[in-house]
Chain A
Amino acid sequence: MKCRKCGERALVTLRRHNASFCKEHFNEFFRRQVEKGIKDYKMFDWSDKIMVCISGGKDSLVLWYLLNDMGFDTTGMYINLGIGEYSQKSLEKVNNFAEKHNLKSIIVNLDELGHPIPLLESKVKRQVCAICGTAKRYYFNKTAYEGKFDVVATGHNLDDETARLLGNVLKWDPAYLSKMDPNLPEDGEFIKRKVKPLVRLTELEVGAFAFMNGIDYIKDECPKAVGATSMLYKNALNNLESEMPGTKHYFYNEFFRSAADKFKMEEVNTEMHTCAVCGLESFNEVCSFCRMLEKLK
């Protein structure tokens, strides 16, 4: 196959766009999609201080690389979850990447804080991915608040978001469906705006960008995520995409065009509290993360 722009041998084929690209023109396409996502969803501008949540995987490192390359003010934020060799390897990737590109980073270490994920998993009777999600959200919010960041960016891509949408549609869960927007506004003093600039790009496209641009990421899957239902949804969507290219893009975009308004939650003036344990803003007298930590006592 030939590159649509220059006729050179293509390195990647995007059936949903009926196009193939060489490295130079794929990079151009990729960057344009990120710019369009940021602009269309009014995610942030040049004056914003952006905290990029980094896992060491392809999506977050590609996002960090690109936002920095575009000239945005970024700081990477990595949480060492204390999941054995997986966490050690991912931390190494993050440190090497930050050093190579001369980027600012903040590392939160759950081992040092005394509550690594495996310990929480052994004490808290919830699914480990839910425990991990609560811990990550807490430290993302806390770090963004304390660091006076304007916006928190994550590397969620089109596959992540369509898989989540499919899961939420299958359950017809209005609370979750109301939070599908790739630009979620700040909530109170503590919770900063959350954005997903890679939302117009598939997992394959992000992987191809990482490969072509020498971005060294952790390829191992989190050992705790084995059997996650999101994988089931992604496989189903990939099978549909093979037969009907463009399905994911259409499913996601049509949700916002035709259905998202129906799931808008009415604004409720929830009384905010100060968590009695950690002192940060909370919906309850003790925040959900501190309630979880109480199980360790």
Chain B
Amino acid sequence: MIIVNMPDGKQIETKKRRIKDILKELHLNENAVLVARGEDLLTPDISLEKEDEITIISVVSGG
């Protein structure tokens, strides 16, 4: 399972491997979030290894 750290601090797990599919599953728009694995940003085409942990960073601000 892939561990996903969400922008609100929650942690979820998913069986999906490709970033694009994970974003789709979470109903997140790829223009509105960045996906990081450690210090690395990941593009939507990247497929993760099982046991990978990623962090979703929201870039949309309301001000």
Interface of A toward B, CB cutoff 8 Å? 1, 10-13, 20, 55, 57-59, 159, 202-204, 206-208, 211-212, 219, 221-222, 225-226, 228, 230-231, 234-235, 238-239, 241-242
Compute how far the CA of A58 lies from the CA of B59 in the bound complex, rounded to whole angstroms. 8
Indicate if the CB atoms of A225 and B62 lie closer than 8 Å: yes
18 A-B pairs (CB sep. < 8 Å): A11-B43, A55-B63, A57-B63, A203-B32, A203-B60, A204-B31, A204-B32, A211-B41, A212-B41, A219-B58, A221-B62, A225-B61, A225-B62, A230-B63, A234-B32, A234-B62, A238-B29, A242-B29
| Range class of the B interface residue count | 20 to 34
User: B40 at interface (Cβ–Cβ under 8 A)?
Assistant: yes
11 additional A-B residue pairs with CB within 8 Å, beyond A204-B31, A235-B29, A238-B60: A1-B45, A11-B40, A11-B43, A12-B41, A13-B44, A55-B63, A159-B60, A208-B34, A211-B34, A225-B63, A230-B62
> Is B22 close to A, CB under 8 A?
no
Main secondary structure of the interface of A (DSSP, over half): helix
Instruction: Give the complex CA separation of A249 and B14 in angstroms.
Output: 34
Q: Considering the complex, give the chain A residue whose CB is closest to the CB of B32.
A: A238
CB pair A231 B60 closer than 8 Å: yes
Roughly how many angstroms separate A222 CA and B62 CA in the complex, as a whole number? 8
